[in-house]
């Protein structure tokens, strides 16, 4: 995956609980707070157009997030923005910058996530005949639905990453999915979380509050 920009040492942060951006995935966001509208105005002036998605954790922030490039945006009549982020790479927070911007900015470390900058991962161990019945029961339990035809045709990475982002897991579970080193690791954790919920683990959000 090639870029026409260098990965910058500093990016703005968008802390959002429950929202994780997986490698090479896309994330739609609705921007309406004044500080984040200002962030968008500033980001669109840069060459990289990167925003760091990171989850709040305790009194601070999770140490690992994922930077997404703004690839599309539209503005409503009242000034709100709908944007689409395309994941570029995960990162590790180095330190939060104290500055004059109304939004958070941070110095970050890109090392250790070289694989994110390459093409899609494959997962030879993905067994859809085992996963899909579990997923169907999980979705039914949570009164959710999906396009099974699209799921069957989706590439390994798109399927696993989309489910990791969209299913109603706790914030800490989603963070663990984000931090999984490989796609196979993420799929194993994803399937384990589904199986745990189906075997009496209870609601994943309540379990870890």
Over residues 152-186, the pLDDT tens digits come to: 999 999 999 999 999 999 999 999 999 999 999 99
Identify whether residues 50 and 71 lie together within a single domain.
yes
Over residues 66-76, the pLDDT tens digits come to: 999 999 999 99
Identify whether residues 141 and 110 lie together within a single domain.
no
Cα–Cα distance list, 159 to 6, 64, 100 (Å): 29, 22, 41
Judge whether 83 lies within some domain.
Answer: yes
**Total domain count for the chain?**
2
DSSP structure class, residue 206: H
**So what's the pLDDT on residue 208?**
35
Q: What integer is the mean pLDDT of 185-209?
A: 77
Judge whether 21 lies within some domain.
Answer: yes
Domain hosting 162: range is 128-207
Contact 29, 40 (CB under 8 A): no
CA–CA distance, 103 with 96 (Å, rounded to integer): 11
| 57 DSSP β-pair partners | 60
Task: Tell me the DSSP string of 91-153.
Answer: EEEEEEE--SSSS-EEEEE-TT-GGGGSS----TT--HHHHHHHHHHHHHHTT----HHHHHH
Identify whether residues 82 and 105 lie together within a single domain.
yes
């Amino acid at each position: 995956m090639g870029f026409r920009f260098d990965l910058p040492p500093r990016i703005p942060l968008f802390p959002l609980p429950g929202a994780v951006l997986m490698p090479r995935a896309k994330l739609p966001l609705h921007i309406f707070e004044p500080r984040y509208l200002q962030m968008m105005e500033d980001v669109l002036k840069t060459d990289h157009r990167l925003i760091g998605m990171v989850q709040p954790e305790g009194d601070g922030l999770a140490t690992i997030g994922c930077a997404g490039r703004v690839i599309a945006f539209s503005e409503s009549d009242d000034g709100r923005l709908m944007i689409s982020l395309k994941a570029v790479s995960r990162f590790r927070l180095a330190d939060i910058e104290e500055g004059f911007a109304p939004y958070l900015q941070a110095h970050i470390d890109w090392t250790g996530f070289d694989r994110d900058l390459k093409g899609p991962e494959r997962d030879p161990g993905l067994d859809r005949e085992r996963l899909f019945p579990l997923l169907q029961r999980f979705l039914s339990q949570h009164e959710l639905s999906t396009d099974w035809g699209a799921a069957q045709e989706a590439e390994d990475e798109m399927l696993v990453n989309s489910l990791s982002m969209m299913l109603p897991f706790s914030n800490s579970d989603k963070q663990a999915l984000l931090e999984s080193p490989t796609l196979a690791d993420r799929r194993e954790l994803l399937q384990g979380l589904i199986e745990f919920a189906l075997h009496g683990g209870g609601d994943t959000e309540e379990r870890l509050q």
